[in-house]
Chain A
Amino acid sequence: MKRRVKASYLSVIWNRLGVWLVVIGLFFLITVTCDNFLSRANLINVVRQICVNAIVALGATFVILGGEIDLSQGAVAALIGCEGAYFMMHMGFPVWAAISAALLTGVFIGTVTGMIITFLRVPSFIATLGVQYILQGAVLLLTNSQPISGLPESFTKLGRGYIGIIPIPTIILLIMVVIGFFVLRYTSFGRNCLATGENTQAAVLSGVSVIKTKIVIFAIAGTMSALGGIILAARLSSGQPSAASDLSLQALAAVFIGGTSRGSVMNTLAGALIIGLINNGLNLLEVNAYWQKIALGAIIIGAIALDSYRVSKESQS
């Protein structure tokens, strides 16, 4: 009973910092191997490039913590980006109205997805797969598979602009991280989300409204996907129906590399950073882009294998 009073220092440090140690290690490794990594332009580039993925991954974090999965996030992002562009270019919406309408659509889609999963009892893997195809069809219908370009500068600033030296998308990301961290740690919803994901039975019997929690989780995922889609459209200066096709899985990769078993908003951010740093490092080393995919795949497997090993080690002693 009194055993394990003293955990080894190493595991304490790992539990506290965990995946951030990997980020730091990677940072040094790339600094040493690539000359121009530390240049201001490059670093800003890194933090800007990860934004869309990281924001979508924040949504995925809640879904994964709640014990579900969302494969439709990329399709939501693509649809919302195009929808925003459509509102501005074809319907004459002012920028703020187009953004608000597009974001609300994201919330709506997420909510409906959540309802499909809870009320119709369709497993999330299948439900979101279905939603993904529906949305992919919808975006092609909306755009006739043509990009909607020529977006106003007041909109593209969201993806390309700076405040001081910091890219605007990075600022949006940081705000979202802070909000996400706060929601998870300091609200009942955050607790309910963790409880539902860990043990649904026990959550119900502890008075958690599991259905409500799950719907909110998917609404959040929809919102974050929408936000990611808007920033992506702003960065590309156009609504691209075929953009973001890989985004759902990239976001999940960030969540898993960040460490699901201790899943938290900060871990997801670290996961997204790791992907960003590796892509950047390999770019600087002029490694073929195809190899980058292979590296990413290997890293996902390695990260989870390492985590499983750690968990099994922990439960053994």
Chain B
Amino acid sequence: MSDKRQKVFLELKNVSKQFPGVKALSNVSLTINKGEIHALVGENGAGKSTLMKILSGAYKRDGGDIFIEGSRAEIHGPKEAEALGISIIYQELNLIPGLTVAENIYLGRQPRKNGCIAWKRMFCDAEKLLQELGIELDVKALVRGLSIAQRQMVEIAKAVSCNAKLVIMDEPTSSLTHQETQLLFKIMENIKEKGNAVIFITHRMDEIFSICDRLSVLRDGCYIGTSDVRDISRDELITMMIGRKLTQQYPDRNSKIGELLLEVSEITDGKKVGPLSFEVHRGEVVGFYGLVGAGRTELMRLLFGADRKKGGTIKLRGEEIKIHSPKESIKRGIGFVTEDRKGEGLFLPFSCAFNISLVSLRKIRKYGILNLKKEKEAAERYIKELNIVTPSRNQKAALLSGGNQQKIVVSKWLFSDLDLMILDEPTRGIDVGAKREIYEIINVLAEEGKAVIVVSSEMEEIMGISDRIYVMRDGALSGEVKKEEFSQEKISDFLLKEVNAG
């Protein structure tokens, strides 16, 4: 008994949280052991962030108890959470770009000498800390110049330097490359070996199975269960998460690949992309796979007219088109679901209806006057068809969960009824259920004879939904793989193959 007590770092008993109209968490009981990496999984809106916010003191729980190392704890704010040894790394990293790595790590608790900051000692301490964690970073570098992955490492170092015994990470890998993820995992292992615990929130199955010791599932604010990772299969986990059996993660498609729709030759931006050539047919789903930074997004922006191309031609329906702006490409039938849905896709303070209709105002306009009734009908239709969970079409987009926000972005392009749809990381940061729904939409588009380009960094996903895959590396296409030849090995080969980008 006492042995067990020593092992447990954090214990939640029947923790509940009520928001007006809904129970966000009901009776969640959970134990986190010292020296384990514990995955917290669940769909968007399952209550993961609410739970985190209770642990960080941002929310006050309505009921239940929290025990830390066996004694009852009250957490009223971030300072107290820190004092108790809990550190949280949010998706939106909280670093100050204009300061150095070391300054960020010791922000607010800089080592002092005679009331002044002891710079030398601070840099020295920071260096030692990074070394211990196996992080290679210049402590005097400005955070502004760091990649997202590197910034995360700084956050982790900061957490460790606060003597965190429990580090909670909210989807830290969602914008990391494969290598960066591996590096992050190494650091997580380091933390674990020191006897500290990590709560790892992620949507990626393979990550759970490759790094975590145990996992706990939340669904609709309820605690579903905890399991050793070795004792559970992928399918069982998905069933736990969504409460029903997901027969198949990638739904079957029944489309006929038709005539040539898009023919791109020797396109280049003169910097990062190309020159490269490819083609897309009607009824076809073409995947663009590659690491983050391979130039996939840049290529799509060229295609969409968001950036100016420096050379090459784009032929749509056999005719060469000259596109100077997204407005023109939309007119010609190209749509673009961007990877950054909040920054580039949505108008957060405005209603779902506003967001859905913006691209297609011409469809609800007569003599220059908008027909709000038509707008309402369209919005309600897509909310229903895509299963968007929202109290009404007038709800602000900001108040929807990630998956539902993504569905709003997709609706806006569906409503504009275009021939070629480009989806850049369409399932990033959304849950399994919503992912499958996005795949189904892609299938419907292909079945309607439209062409779909999907950009993704997840190999499993790209193989699951594409008819053909182009592998991109350093701004060039390093290979093309047809459906019959799909295999992880083949695609990885192209990923690593040297290509001449010039």
Q: Contact residues of A with B, CB < 8 Å?
A: 1-8, 185-188, 191, 194-195, 198-199, 201-209, 261, 315, 317
Contacts and interface: CB of A to CB of B under 8 A. Distances in A.
Contacts of A202: 343-347
Contact of A199 (B336, B346, B362): B346
Contacts of A1: 44-45, 389, 401, 404
Contacts of A191: 354, 357-358, 361, 370
Nearest to B17: A3
Contact of A209 (B24, B325, B338): B325
A195 B347 contact: yes
B24 A205 contact: no
A2 B22 CA distance: 6
B278 interface: no
Interface in B48-79: none
Contact of A195 (B24, B358, B369): B358
Q: Give the secondary structure class of A's interface.
A: loop
A194 B350 contact: yes
Contact of A2 (B44, B389, B412): B389
A314 B368 CA distance: 35
Contact of A198 (B22, B338, B349, B399): B349
Interface in B319-374: 325-327, 330-331, 336, 338, 343-350, 354, 357-359, 361-362, 365, 368-370, 372
Given A2-B22, A205-B336, A194 B354 contact: yes
Contacts of B108: none
Contacts of B306: 204-205
Given A198-B350, A205-B336, A209-B327, A186 B370 contact: yes
Contacts of A4: 19-22, 391, 399
Contacts of A261: 349
Interface residues of B, number: 42
A206 B370 contact: no
A204 B21 contact: no
B368 A207 contact: no
B399 to A, nearest CB: 6
A194 B361 CA distance: 13
A258 to B, nearest CB: 16
B345 to A, nearest CB: 6
B19 A204 contact: no
B126 to A, nearest CB: 34
Contact of A206 (B326, B362, B369, B391): B326
Given A4-B21, A187-B368, A261-B349, A201 B344 contact: yes
A186 B343 CA distance: 26
Interface string B297-336: 0000000101000000000000000000111001100001
A187 B372 CA distance: 10
B349 A6 contact: no
A207 B327 contact: yes
A74 to B, nearest CB: 30
Given A186-B370, A202-B344, A317 B326 contact: no
A205 B350 CA distance: 17
Nearest to B46: A1
Nearest to B398: A315
A262 B125 CA distance: 49
Most chain B Cβ neighbours within 10 Å, of A195, A199, A207: A207
Nearest to A204: B326
A207 B330 contact: yes
Contacts of B336: 205
A3 B19 contact: yes
Given A4-B19, A201-B343, A209-B325, 9 more contacts: A2-B22, A8-B20, A186-B370, A188-B362, A188-B370, A203-B347, A204-B326, A205-B306, A207-B327
B309 to A, nearest CB: 16
A312 to B, nearest CB: 13
Nearest to A1: B45
Contacts of B359: 206-207
CB-CB nearest 7 A-B residue pairs: A1-B45, A3-B22, A6-B21, A207-B330, A3-B19, A207-B327, A188-B361
Contacts of B338: 205
Nearest to B301: A205
A146 B349 CA distance: 49
B350 A206 contact: no
Contacts of B404: 1
Contacts of B358: 191, 195, 206, 208
Contacts of A195: 347, 350, 358
B86 to A, nearest CB: 21
Q: Which of A1, A6, A206: most chain B CB closer than 10 A? A: A206
Of listed A185, A188, A198, residue having the most chain B CB within 10 A: A188
7 contacts: A1-B44, A5-B22, A8-B20, A199-B348, A203-B347, A205-B306, A207-B331
Contacts of A209: 325, 327
A201 B21 CA distance: 35
A187 to B, nearest CB: 6
A317 B336 CA distance: 33
A8 B370 CA distance: 31
A315 B53 CA distance: 14
A194 B347 contact: yes
Contacts of A315: 398
Contacts of B365: 188
Nearest to A190: B370
Contacts of B345: 202, 205
B92 to A, nearest CB: 14
B160 to A, nearest CB: 30
B24 A3 contact: yes
B327 A5 contact: no
A199 B347 CA distance: 6
Given A2-B21, A4-B20, A191-B370, A208 B389 contact: no
A69 B44 CA distance: 39
A201 B306 CA distance: 10
Interface string B385-397: 0000101000000
Contacts of B343: 199, 201-202
B327 A208 contact: yes
Contacts of A3: 19-22, 24
Contacts of B44: 1
A294 B347 CA distance: 37
A242 to B, nearest CB: 40
A197 B218 CA distance: 38
Contacts of A317: 19-20
Nearest to A188: B361
Contacts of B361: 188, 191
A37 B268 CA distance: 71
